[in-house]
Chains A and B, each alone.
Chain A
Amino acid sequence: MNDNHLSELAQDIVRQAQAAGASDAECTIAEGEEFSANVRMREVENLKEAGSRGAGLRILIGRRTGASYTSDLSPEGIAHLVKSAIELADITTEDPHAGLPDPGEFGALPGDLGMYSPEVAELDTAFKIETAKRAEDAALSSDPRISNSEGASFDNHVGRHIFANSRGFAGEYRSSYCSLSTSPVARDGESMERDYWYTLARGFSGLEAPEYVGRMAAKRALRRLHAVKVETQRVPVVFEPRTARSLLDNIFEAVHGMSVYRQESFLAGKLGEKVASDEVTVIDDGTLPGLFGTSPFDDEGVASRRTVVIERGVLKSYLMNTYAARKLGMKTTGNASRGLTGNAGIGHGNFFLEKGVQTPEQIIAGIPNGFYVTELMGFGVNVVTGDYSRGAAGLWIRNGELAFAVSEVTIAGNLNDMLRGIEAIASDLEFRGSVAAPTIKMGEMTVGGK
C-alpha cells in the first residue's frame, strides 16, 4: 500500500467508530517487515522473512470504553473491528477518569529523531549471513575451549506506526533496527558455560564489528568456567551494566503510574522523599535522537519528553499516561504505551541511571571481598514490598580484583535498602536498548550459597 493509504485508513476507522456511536475513538496501525538469519557452527541454520500489519481501535461511549484489534484490513475486517469495540462498551463500567488526553496535551516532537535508517531495508541477505558468520567465527576461533556454540544471528526490522484520534490528532513515524548477537559455549573438563554478546542499532553503521561481538561473547563464556558456589555471607555487590540495567527495570515498575495509584509499589506515596543515595539520578528521556526509547509522541498522541524521575536520591516524578495522571491528580508525562489492543498502559522512553566519574576498575579495586554480578535469573522481585531475591552468577572480588567464577547462588535484600545503599556509580553508561545503567556498587547484600 502506498504511504498515505494507511494514515487515511486510520482516520477513516476513527470516523467509522464515531458514526457507529463512539463519542471518542483512537486508532493505531502498525506495519512491519522482519528478517532474521541464524548461523550455527559456521553454517546457515534458519532464514526467516516476512511482513505483517494490524489495526487496533479503542472507543469511548461517554466514560465507558471498548477495544478491538484485527490483522484483517479489508473493508469487512474493518467493519468487524468497529463493531467489536463498540459492543464491548456495553459491559464496561462508567469510569470518571477514562478518556482521551486533555485538548492541550496533544503534540509531537518536530524534526528527524534518527529512528529510521533506510539502508536497513536494503541490506543484502548474503551479507547479513556473512556478518553473523564472522561474529560466530570470531568466538569459535578465540580459544580452544570454545568448541561449540548456540550460533549467531543477524536480525533487522523496519516498521511504520500510525496513530489518529477523534480530537484531530494524526501522526506517524518510521523506525528501523538491526542487531547482531552470538552465544558461544565454553567447555573445560566437566565445566560447561554459555554466554552471549550483542549489538543493536537503528542502522547497520551503528553496530559493533562482528569480530568484537564474537570476542566479547567468548571472553564472557570463558570467564564463567569452573564456577563455584560460595558460602552464605553479607558482602558488597557490584552489578555490571548488563545486570545493573535490570535494577532500572525494577525502578521503572515501581514508578509506573498504574502501580502507584493502586498502592502496589514500594515507592507509592513517596514523591519528594529521599528514596535512594545521593549518587542516584534516574532520567526518562524519549527525545534523544537515534536511541531505542525515542519517539515523537506517545501512544495517546502526547509529545515525548524528558522527565527527571529521581534526582540525587529524591523521588521527583512518576511515569504516567493520561489515566494514571488523572487518578493521581497529576499531568501525563507522555509515557502512554500500548500494542494494538486494549487501554493504554505505561512505557518508558530512554530510561537510565546517570553516570558517575569512577571507572569500574576503580570501584572494584576498593573492595577486599565482594561479588561482581554478571547474570541474574528468575522473577524474585516483589515491587509491592521491595523484597528482592534473585539467582545470580558472576565473579568473586578478592583484594580488589576479579578472582574466580561463582554460580548457583542468590543475592537478596529489599529495594528500599538497596537504592539507599548504592555507594558508587561508574562512568561506563552505554545504550544497548531503551534501558541503560553504568556499573553500580551496592553497600551490602546477602549472598545465599552453601
Chain B
Amino acid sequence: MQFSESIFAARFAITLQDLEKYLGEALSQGGDYADLYFEYLVTSSIGIDESMVKSAAQGVSMGVGVRVISGERTGYAYSDDLSPDKIRKAANVAAHIAAAPAKVEKFDLNEGHKHNLYPVLTAPTETAFSQRVDLVKRADRAARAYDPRIFQVQAVYADNLRQVLVATSEGRLSVDRQPLARLSVSALARQSGGPPQRGHSGGGGRMELDYFLHEKTPEYFAHEAAREAIAMLDAVDAPAGEMTVVLGPGWPGILLHEAVGHGLEADFNRKGVSAFSGRMGQKVASELCTVVDDGTIGSRRGSLNVDDEGQPTRRNVLIENGVLRGYLQDKLSSRLLGAESTGSGRRESYACIPMPRMTNTFMMAGQSDPEEIVRSVPKGLYCANFGGGQVDITSGNFVFSASESYFIEDGKLTRPVRNATLIGNGPEALKFVSMVGNDLRLDEGIGTCGKDGQSVPVGVGIPTIKIDKMTVGGTA
C-alpha cells in the first residue's frame, strides 16, 4: 500500500507537506530525530459462554504519537484527535525535550522498500459478523461433543485491523495495514465429583477469515482444548527439584522468549542491567542451540512488514551454535550504540514510546528424532504445553508454567502431571541442552508479550529439546 491510498491521506486528508510541517514543529527546539506514528485501529470480539453468544463488541480508536529524540532524551506526546491544530500541539509538547535552535529544515519524505508478508485482501475485521459468530458457535459445539465429561466451554474470537503511518525526520515514510485474528477456546472437564480441570487452545495470525474455515478450524482448536482438559483429569502431583526436562515442539518455545529473548533487547544491554550485558561473543548455550528472532515470516502473529518505527523487519540471529551474536535494536538504542536498527522497535499504540521487542523467536531444528529424545530419558518430565512466563532481566532468572506435562519413566511418557512452574537462569539454562529435535514447530499464533505495561503480539517456536537439568516447582 502507498501513502496516497492510506486512510490517513484518503479520509483524513493528510498530505506529505503536512507531515513535513509537523516534523518541523517537533524539531523546532533542536533535537536529533523526530517521528510521527499515526494509527487507526478497528477491533471486534465475540464471546460464547454456556452455549450462548453473550458478548459482541466493536470499536474504533485513532491517534498520533509524536516523538523527539535529543541525545539520550526522549520527548513524547500524543493526540487522539487528528485535526491539524491538535497534532501541532502534540509536536510542540514533544519538542520541549530539546532546548536549542532548530537544526533541520527540510524533510524529504520517501517510501522505502517494505515486505508484503500478509497480502490480505479482506481483513477478518471487514467481513460480515454472521460469518465470524459461527466460529465461536462451532467451537462450543465441538468441545462439548468431544467428551461427555466436558461441562463448560468458553470461546472468544477477536480480530483487529490496524492501519499505521510512520514518518521520520530521516525522510522515511511507511504505511502498513496490519490485520490480526485469534480464536481461543477454554474447556472445563470433570469426572465423578472430582475437581474440574481446564484445557486451553487457540491460534490465528495475520490472515484472512478463510484460515479458520479451511486450515485451522474451530473444531481443531476445540478438540485440542477439550483433549487437554480430559488428559489433566488423571494428573498426579508434580515433582519438586532438579530433573531432566524435555520440551515438546511449538509453544514451549516460550522458554526462549523468557530465557534469552528479553535479556537481549538492546535497551537493557545499553544500560548494562541485563544478565547478558557484556557477553557478546561468549558461550551462553550448548552448541546445539541457534536462536533466531524473525519478523519476516509470512502471515505470522509476530510478523510485521515494518516495525513501529517504520523500519523493515529482519531475521536476526541472537545465538549461533551456542554463542551470543546479536541484540534486538530499536532506533534509540541503535543510535546510542552506533549499531543498525534490527527492525525491532515496537509499541502497543500511538500512546506509547517504542522499545526493542521480539517478533517470532525460535530455535532452529537439530538432528535428533523426537522419539529418540524421549527414549533417552530414564526419569524426567515431558512438557507438551505451557501457560505464560516471566523473566527478571537483571538476575536472568525466568519462569514458565507447564499446563500439560507427563512423567517420563524408562523412556516412555506415563502419567499426566498437575500444573507446575519451571525455573531457570537465562545465560545458564540452555547450556544444559543436550539434544535438539528435527521437528521445529512454530506456535499456533496466540502469544502476547508484555513489557513496561505495553502488550504486543508475538510468536515463538522450538523443536523437541532435552534439557539435562532444570528446577521443577511441584509438591511431590
Closest residue of chain B to A40 (Cβ to Cβ) is: B271
Interface membership of A412, Cβ < 8 A = yes
Among A80-88, A169-177, A205-213, A299-307, the stretch that binds chain B is: A80-88
Interface membership of B465, Cβ < 8 A = no
Among A3-11, A115-123, A382-390, the stretch that binds chain B is: A382-390
Chain B residues with CB under 8 Å of A393's CB are 392, 395, 397
Question: Given A341-B57, A387-B418, is A446 in contact with B390 using a C-beta cutoff of 8 Å?
Answer: no
Inter-chain CA distance A84–B59, complex, in Å, is 8
Interface membership of B326, Cβ < 8 A = no
Inter-chain CA distance A94–B51, complex, in Å, is 11
Chain B residues with CB under 8 Å of A49's CB are 76-77, 93
Interface membership of A410, Cβ < 8 A = yes
B49 near A71 with CB under 8 A, answer no
- Number of interchain pairs (Cβ within 8 Å): 257
Chain B residues with CB under 8 Å of A69's CB are 57, 59-61
Chain A residues with CB under 8 Å of B395's CB are 192-194, 224, 227, 393, 407-408
B473 near A387 with CB under 8 A, answer no
Interface membership of B442, Cβ < 8 A = no
Give which listed residue, B54, B151, B425, contacts A65 with CB less than 8 A.
B54
Q: How far is the CB of A297 from chain B (nearest CB, A)?
A: 22
Question: Given A45-B74, A91-B46, A448-B472, is A377 in contact with B60 using a C-beta cutoff of 8 Å?
Answer: no
B198 near A389 with CB under 8 A, answer no
Q: What's the dominant secondary structure at chain A's contact region? A: strand
Interface membership of B275, Cβ < 8 A = yes
A446 near B475 with CB under 8 A, answer yes
Chain B residues with CB under 8 Å of A192's CB are 273, 275, 394-395
Give which listed residue, A68, A375, A378, contacts B421 with CB less than 8 A.
A378
A52 near B196 with CB under 8 A, answer no
A263 near B57 with CB under 8 A, answer no
Chain A residues with CB under 8 Å of B53's CB are 91-93
A93 near B52 with CB under 8 A, answer yes
The 8 closest A-B pairs by CB, nearest first: A410-B473, A391-B399, A378-B399, A69-B59, A380-B421, A194-B394, A232-B241, A67-B57
A409 near B471 with CB under 8 A, answer yes
Interface membership of B197, Cβ < 8 A = yes
Chain B residues with CB under 8 Å of A154's CB are none
Write the B299-342 contact mask toward A (1 if CB under 8 angstroms, else 0): 00000000000000000000000000000000000000000000
Question: Given A70-B59, A449-B471, is A46 in contact with B240 using a C-beta cutoff of 8 Å?
Answer: no
Residue of A44, A148, A266, A379 contacting most chain B CB atoms (<10 Å): A379
Chain A residues with CB under 8 Å of B60's CB are 69-72, 77, 80
Inter-chain CA distance A98–B195, complex, in Å, is 29
Question: Given A87-B129, A378-B388, is A47 in contact with B80 using a C-beta cutoff of 8 Å?
Answer: no
B63 near A71 with CB under 8 A, answer yes
B198 near A384 with CB under 8 A, answer yes
Range for the number of chain B residues in contact with chain A: 35 or more
Q: How far is the CB of B11 from chain A (nearest CB, A)?
A: 11
Interface membership of A54, Cβ < 8 A = yes
Give which listed residue, A67, A90, A232, contacts B55 with CB less than 8 A.
A67
Interface membership of B225, Cβ < 8 A = no
Inter-chain CA distance A189–B198, complex, in Å, is 45
Write the B35-56 contact mask toward A (1 if CB under 8 angstroms, else 0): 0000000000110011011111
Interface membership of B430, Cβ < 8 A = no
Inter-chain CA distance A78–B60, complex, in Å, is 11
Other 8 A-B pairs with CB < 8 A, given A47-B76, A410-B423, A449-B242? A50-B79, A70-B60, A91-B46, A150-B273, A262-B49, A340-B59, A390-B473, A412-B240
Inter-chain CA distance A262–B153, complex, in Å, is 9
Provide 23 A-B residue pairs closer than 8 Å at the C-beta atoms, listed in order of the A residue.
A40-B271, A43-B72, A46-B75, A47-B75, A47-B96, A48-B76, A54-B80, A66-B57, A71-B63, A84-B58, A88-B58, A92-B53, A93-B54, A232-B240, A377-B399, A378-B390, A384-B196, A389-B420, A389-B475, A446-B473, A448-B241, A448-B423, A450-B242
Closest residue of chain A to B82 (Cβ to Cβ) is: A72
Interface membership of B148, Cβ < 8 A = no
Inter-chain CA distance A236–B130, complex, in Å, is 56
Interface membership of A199, Cβ < 8 A = no
Write the A350-384 contact mask toward B (1 if CB under 8 angstroms, else 0): 00000000000000000000000001011110101
B57 near A342 with CB under 8 A, answer yes
Inter-chain CA distance A306–B256, complex, in Å, is 45
Give residues 24-80 of A contacting B (CB, 8 Å): 40, 43-50, 52-54, 56, 65-72, 77, 80
Closest residue of chain A to B57 (Cβ to Cβ) is: A67
Give residues 272-325 of A contacting B (CB, 8 Å): none
Q: How far is the CB of B354 from chain A (nearest CB, A)?
A: 11
Give which listed residue, B45, B73, B397, B401, contacts A46 with CB less than 8 A.
B73
Q: How far is the CB of B127 from chain A (nearest CB, A)?
A: 12
